[in-house]
Structure 1
Amino acid sequence: MKEMNSDRRKLLKGAVATSLASLAGNLSLEDAHAAKADPDLIHRENLKEGATDWQLTRVQLDKRAGFRSPKIEGYCSKQSVAAGDTIDIKVSTRPEQEFKIEIFRTGYYGGRGARLMKTIGPLQGKAQPVPKPGKKNLHECHWDSAVTLTIPDDWPSGVYLGRLSTLKDKTGYGYWQSYVVFIVKDDRPADILFQCSDNTWQAYNKWPSNYSVYTHPKGNQGPWADVSFDRPYAKYAQIYENPQSIGSGEWLCFEFPFAYWLEKHGYDVTYCSNSDMVTPDHGLKCKSFLSVGHDEYWDIKQYESVVKMRDAGVNLLFFSGNSVCWVTPLLDSTDGRPKRIMFRGGPYGGKYKYAEDRERDNGPFPFRGPDEGYLMGSRNVDPVNGGGDWVCELPDHWIFENTGMKKGDSIPGLIGWEYHGDPPKDIPGLEVVAKGTALQGGVNPQQWTATIYPGPKDNFVFNASTIFWCQDLASPPGHMLPWSHWSRPHGPDERVQQITHNIMRRAIS
């Protein structure tokens, strides 16, 4: 009877799939997209009960100024995965001991910030080897899998954290924690495609002991170092100390507040990794594309995909800084898995002076990219880091509706720690909506510009010109406000929230 029921379910499933395929064949592309859309998905998801315990409670580095957490650490076999597919979670424990994995989806969830999706374990841990440096200082782990996870069909797109916890010893103490992170993607035609900046997370990842694209003996700005996604994410190691970052890349630091805010307000959003955008047409189903936080490292195929999106009528929204700065080829792992190794291939910028200076000072580079200003509306400049206030320039522009802002009004500390400036003069219809000066602790002034320009199909491209934008949208659990160059954002600001609503509502209308 069980076999008959199983065969019947397979037959029905096949018949439904055939029927849907036949239906899709008679629909226009637009109608077929609409048939797959579920604009209420994220709203329904966030009505579910959030977790009261999902953050890291006890973390331990290998030394006071270290980067890794050898008591328990891990990584995932893919940056992103679709429902129905599998992902391997690789874990090392020192000493060998049992552990568990709790999988959380980050979101709003009534203000709690995450929902528990699955608990795995107890599992037996073992100490896995730290790889010896390979060619171009590559540190690539070949760890055994602790578990192979099949993503359930009902897990919506989002950024997922796997909390690794050693089990308590007989005294009730002695447990240690860290995260692994992965993205669940889909091909749903959502209003908003949120691109995570995980290429940049990996570029700055110093696991196990100060190895990143910035730490090669030849210098910190050349093409000399390769880095692998097949290794744990170390503690974030750039502008401030954040123990919650161990194993989670830069997600909780510079992107999660934006996702939390979008999901709080029921926006129809789907998520992807930088590497997903290498695939042509990945974002063409969505109305808007978001670059958030520190989005510095782009494969040239990713750039070409986003240009295609703009030209097809998708709205591009750069709520980020230092974006599209380095051409970052994504290479196969040494065992042949795609898009698992990256390096700094060369600067974007075309013939722009900043790119020419980088080539002269740090090259020769094997690749060069076009002038990113003609995509984003504003460019990477030198110096590119510092801090300042975000100052209104065009108060009558629609992005400032209902903010009450006047020309010269400023939002304190919102610029930083990197930004964009010097917009191309020949983009038709480009407007500078905000501008001002950034300083490196009171010295080295540089002019930044926030811009907007019309696309070819009644769409638009917005550039907020700061990594810190999301810091003034929300302050969710698990997030810490950053500071850098003696400047800092102040946290949720009603004006930033209203500007973002204005832009998002126009982008998805």
Structure 2
Amino acid sequence: MIEGYAGRESVTLGGELTLHISTDAPGFRLRFYRLGDTLDLVGESGEFPGTLHPAPAHPDGTPGRASPCDDWDWPPLTLPVPDGWTPGIHLVEFVECDENMAPPPLDLAHLEGPAREFFVVRPRVPGSRSRVLYKKSTFTRHAYNRADGPGPERAASLYDHPVHRPGGAGEPRGHKVSFHRPGGVIDLAYWDAPFIGWLERHGYRVEYATDLDLHEDPALLASYDLLLSVGHDEYWSERMREHARAFVRAGGNIMFLSANTCWWRVHLTDGDTAFVSDTDHHVGEEHPHLPAADQWWTPAPDGVGNPENSLTGVSFRNGGMWAATEWPGDRPRTGYTVQHADHWIYEGTGLRDGSGGETPDRLGAGTPLIGYECDGAAYALDDTGIAWATGEDGTPDDFLILGIHVLEPVHEDFHHPRWGHWNTVVREPGITSPRAATMGLHTAPGPVGGTVFTAGTTDWPVVCGREQDPAVVRVTRNLLDRLGRRRR
């Protein structure tokens, strides 16, 4: 058995990467890869001596579970990052050295699994390679990381056997997770790998950063014209919100090819190696604190009082998800009903919106574009049946709905301890429009205000990356070509 984690998931060319590795093998080697249209082997280490290190016990004494909130504190192994590497998302594979034959190198078909971790390699000068920044949603990754394989079942995360801290002594109240735990590769393989491959295949050069980079560096986005949020981007800090908002006001653009976006606020602790978020997740049979103070949209003092859709244009509370025995599950494949087909995002798609009396076309019809989680805006229909954002939920007044899909049915198996079933839950009084996945955009006020596009679905990068629908691909190209340079 071998596993490990990175001390920090973002490194700079010429800098150092710190790994923390545990194995019951006498020795191990490291293989390094760069993720692009292919998974390229870029280096391999010599042999290091192996040592087995324990996982810290769950602080609640839960049998067989490891702590999700404590630094696992395995000894560090620090390695130089070669100047000759190409910036991007890289993987390190932990390979045991024993009498058995070493496994073959990884490829894209076998990207997901344990005994490996990803990390971002950034150029020495931000923006020197591209004016587009791809933000890997690492906080969300850590929230879901169960740290339970390979080896004994020990699942613990923000969702499995979580730990709730009462707060005090400089630490906020809430559920806590540490970044210093092993986890392997899961979400990267599902959402990011297809889209990253598509970007490189079609000549779109981007640079990469993590949530922690955006949180820590208020000047980070100044080097870029476009920020990409991809897949599942659920957990955001206050500083991330502030930095993204300032970026758009200064003319920067954002593409949210994601959903369930900015649903929970997090507070960085332990020298930015862990976060705390006061959520509605249970601990055992109890809910330690309700209402959840770190819900972005909920009015203060019960929540943050800063609706996420003031930035994104949409919210998970106006969208939904589907029940599934196997993640990510199946869902309707009807796609988005097209609105305003004369808008520049639809250029070259040939899609119609029904304004000529015909039935509106659907973007992504026949593909799992809608879901598995979706965000939406409160809306009303005009006399022609076109949906317009009402703004009553915090969505900017100029948000233009370009595609919509009413969610029938919404996930009805999820039961919230305070609000009830999900299809009737977490909506402000007076909002009566059906829950609907919503695609659209808005522009910040002022002569240089940037544009924010939202796909309203987690699976846009999958459908685009796998080129399952030519119109989704063309819309993505139109967006990148237009928003990849800010207005001057």
Deviation digits for residues 336-377 of structure 1 (CA, Å, limit 9, x no counterpart):
xx3210122469xxxxxxxxxx99954355972511111111
Deviation digits for residues 73-110 of structure 1 (CA, Å, limit 9, x no counterpart):
1101102111122121111113x3322111111112xx
Contact 1:76 1:87 in 2 (8 A): yes
Aligned with 1:395: secondary structure? coil
Q: Which residue number corresponds to residue 460 of structure 1?
A: 451
Distance 1:132 1:440 in 2: 41
Deviation digits for residues 266-311 of structure 1 (CA, Å, limit 9, x no counterpart):
2231000011111212112111000000000001101100001000
Cα distance 1:435–1:329, how it changes in 2: closer, same or farther (>3 A)?
Answer: same
Which of 203, 206, 218 is the equivalent residue of 2:143?
A: 203
Q: Which residue number corresponds to residue 425 of structure 1?
A: 390
Alpha-carbon offset, residue 452 of structure 1: 0.8
Q: Which residue number corresponds to residue 311 of structure 1?
A: 249
Cα distance 1:330–1:440, how it changes in 2: closer, same or farther (>3 A)?
Answer: farther
Cα distance 1:85–1:217, how it changes in 2: closer, same or farther (>3 A)?
Answer: closer
Query: Is the deviation greater in 338-347 or in 177-186?
Result: 338-347
Matched, 1:131 2:56: yes
Distance 1:313 1:372 in 2: 19
Deviation digits for residues 397-435 of structure 1 (CA, Å, limit 9, x no counterpart):
111111121223221320111111125634343210000
Contiguous gaps of at least 5 residues in structure 2: 61-66, 105-112, 149-153, 165-171, 281-286, 295-301, 323-330, 354-359, 379-388, 413-422, 424-433
Aligned with 1:227: secondary structure? strand
Q: Which residue number corresponds to residue 132 of structure 2?
A: 192
Contact 2:234 2:260 in 1 (8 A): yes
Matched, 1:91 2:41: no
Which of 316, 336, 342 is the equivalent residue of 1:396?
A: 342
Which residues of 2 match residues 27-66 of structure 1 at below 5 A?
none
Alpha-carbon offset, residue 153 of structure 1: 2.0
Which residues of 2 match residues 208-247 of structure 1 at below 5 A?
208=148, 209-216=154-161, 224-233=174-183, 247=184
Contact 1:223 1:363 in 2 (8 A): no
TM-score, with structure 1 as normaliser = 0.70
Contact 1:216 1:224 in 2 (8 A): no
Alpha-carbon offset, residue 257 of structure 1: 1.5
Q: Which residue number corresponds to residue 12 of structure 1?
A: none
Cα distance 1:137–1:89, how it changes in 2: closer, same or farther (>3 A)?
Answer: closer
What amino acid maps onto 1:422 in structure 2?
A: A
Aligned with 1:380: secondary structure? strand
Instruction: Work out the percentage of aligned pairs sharing the same amino acid.
Output: 27
Alpha-carbon offset, residue 316 of structure 1: 0.8
Q: Which residue number corresponds to residue 156 of structure 1?
A: 86
Aligned with 1:121: secondary structure? coil
Which of 175, 184, 187 is the equivalent residue of 1:250?
A: 187
**Root mean square deviation of aligned Cα:** 2.8
What amino acid maps onto 2:484 in structure 1?
A: I
Matched, 1:284 2:214: no
Moved over 6 A (4+): 173-177
Distance 1:188 1:156 in 2: 14
Aligned with 1:283: secondary structure? helix
Contact 1:192 1:288 in 2 (8 A): yes
Q: Which residue number corresponds to residue 299 of structure 2?
A: none
Aligned with 1:255: secondary structure? helix
Query: Is the deviation greater in 134-143 or in 265-274?
Result: 134-143
Contact 1:321 1:467 in 2 (8 A): yes
Contact 1:346 1:369 in 2 (8 A): no
Cα distance 1:382–1:314, how it changes in 2: closer, same or farther (>3 A)?
Answer: closer
What amino acid maps onto 2:374 in structure 1?
A: Y
How many residue pairs match? The answer is: 387
Q: Which residue number corresponds to residue 118 of structure 1?
A: 43
Q: Which residue number corresponds to residue 169 of structure 1?
A: 99
Query: Is the deviation greater in 363-372 or in 294-303?
Result: 363-372
Query: Is the deviation greater in 296-305 or in 424-433?
Result: 424-433
Alpha-carbon offset, residue 163 of structure 1: 1.1
Query: Is the deviation greater in 268-277 or in 361-370?
Result: 361-370
Contact 1:100 1:120 in 2 (8 A): yes
Contact 2:228 2:255 in 1 (8 A): yes
Alpha-carbon offset, residue 199 of structure 1: 0.6
Matched, 1:140 2:71: yes
Deviation digits for residues 18-75 of structure 1 (CA, Å, limit 9, x no counterpart):
xxxxxxxxxxxxxxxxxxxxxxxxxxxxxxxxxxxxxxxxxxxxxxxxxxxxx11110
Alpha-carbon offset, residue 249 of structure 1: 4.5
Query: Is the deviation greater in 275-284 or in 422-431?
Result: 422-431
Q: Which residue number corresponds to residue 363 of structure 1?
A: 292
Aligned with 2:405: secondary structure? strand
Query: Is the deviation greater in 441-450 or in 279-288?
Result: 441-450
Contact 2:175 2:278 in 1 (8 A): no
Q: Which residue number corresponds to residue 298 of structure 2?
A: none
Cα distance 1:367–1:82, how it changes in 2: closer, same or farther (>3 A)?
Answer: farther
Which of 459, 462, 473 is the equivalent residue of 1:471?
A: 462
Aligned with 1:471: secondary structure? helix
Cα distance 1:266–1:217, how it changes in 2: closer, same or farther (>3 A)?
Answer: closer
